Amino acid sequence: MSVHQLFDLGGQTALVTGAASGLGSAIAEALLAAGARTLMTDVDEDALNARVALLRKHHPLAEGAVLDVADPDAVDAVVDDAVRRYGQLDCVFANAGISAGRGFAVETGQLEHVEHPAWDRVMRINLDGVLATLRASVRHMKPRRQGRIIVTSSIAGIRAEPLSGYAYVASKAAVNNLVRQAAVELAPFNVLVNAIAPGPFATEINGGRLKLPESAERMRTYIPLGRVAQPHEIQGLALLLASPASSYITGAVIPIDGGASAR
């Protein structure tokens, strides 16, 4: 197999949740550039339509569907419809997620201030939404005995993160073990399950705080590479895990954090 073929997704169908902006949008763009028909989903219909229209100018295989991953029936319906329309589902990125607000580095983020309604909302999206996406996807991948599922986790799920809220770190830690569990179950079916664990990226999550110069400057002291990442910097790793190049990778949680988790 040539190097080009290792990363070629021509003829494949991919689905990305939380694709209207940030990392999900960057991932979808990479999949499209590699030749995959890509169904971009998001709960924000206006932002999704705008992003799909923009990508279609260069990538006619971009399509969109409104989806709230906190609704498991809706996840089933979107995934099933995608398979009916395209005939197959080769790669799924369970990327949708939300912030839990500030971590314990700020007084309002400390343990005694954690509120159950906010905790439950984060879990419904960040954990239950991932489970729903995996469950809906494997129903179609197992019979074909092939597929790739990639989950967006976080380095906050690997270690304590004073800047991340309790519900966020708990949801991402749970997601990491969900990935490992699913990877072992699905390995005999050649369905590979992995997680990407981003560090600080300049996206809309947490109110887009890391897009602000003052916030990015404060983060530099925590990151060996000395800067906050831009969304396009996730594309190489995403493409690796979606492509034939990752044929012997499963059950991995791979940090992409400028060296932050190595400290």
| Residue 20 maps to a domain | yes
The first and second tokens of residue 118, run together, are 């906010």
pLDDT at 128: 98
- Please report, for the domain that includes residue 29, its CATH number: 3.40.50.720
DSSP 230: P
DSSP 127: I
Alpha helices in 187-231 (DSSP H): 205-208, 213-219
pTM over 0.75: yes
| Residue 203 maps to a domain | yes
- Helix pair angle (235-242, 22-33), 10° resolution: 60
Give the integer Cα–Cα distance in Å for 149 and 18: 15
The first and second tokens of residue 64, run together, are 């969109």
| Residue 263 maps to a domain | no
Domain count, the chain: 1
| Residue 261 maps to a domain | no
pLDDT at 209: 59
| Contact call for residues 42 and 23 (beta carbons, < 8 A) | no
In DSSP notation, 55-70 reads: HHTT-TTEEEEE--TT
Give pLDDT tens digits along the chain (263 positions).
Answer: 788 889 999 999 999 999 999 999 999 999 999 999 999 999 999 999 999 999 999 999 999 999 999 999 999 999 999 999 999 999 999 999 998 887 767 777 676 767 888 989 999 999 999 999 999 999 999 999 999 999 999 999 998 787 788 999 999 999 999 999 999 999 999 999 999 999 999 887 655 555 556 655 667 778 999 999 999 999 999 999 999 999 999 999 999 999 998 88
| Residue 262 maps to a domain | no
Catalytic residue among 86, 166, 168, 248: 168
Q: What are phi and psi of 191, to 5 degrees?
A: -100, 115
| Residue 260 maps to a domain | no
Which residue range is the domain that position 238 belongs to? 3-255
pLDDT at 206: 56
pLDDT at 211: 53
Q: CB neighbours of 245 closer than 8 A, spacing ≥ 6?
A: 6, 7
| Contact call for residues 135 and 94 (beta carbons, < 8 A) | no
Give the integer Cα–Cα distance in Å for 75 and 81: 10
pLDDT at 213: 66
Burial class (CB in 10 A: 0-12, 13-18, 19+), 25: buried
Half-sphere CA count of 56, side-chain side, radius 13 A: 11
Give the integer Cα–Cα distance in Å for 44 and 191: 30
pLDDT at 106: 78
Angle value at C-alpha 126, between 120 and 128, nearest 5 degrees: 70
The first and second tokens of residue 166, run together, are 């309790």
Burial of 112-133, coded b for 16+ CB within 10 Å and e otherwise, reads eebeeeebeebbbbbbbbbbbb
Give catalytic status of residue 86 as yes or no.
Answer: no
| Residue 31 maps to a domain | yes
The first and second tokens of residue 74, run together, are 């809706």
| Residue 117 maps to a domain | yes
Reference 153, options 170, 136, 138, 165; nearest CA is 170
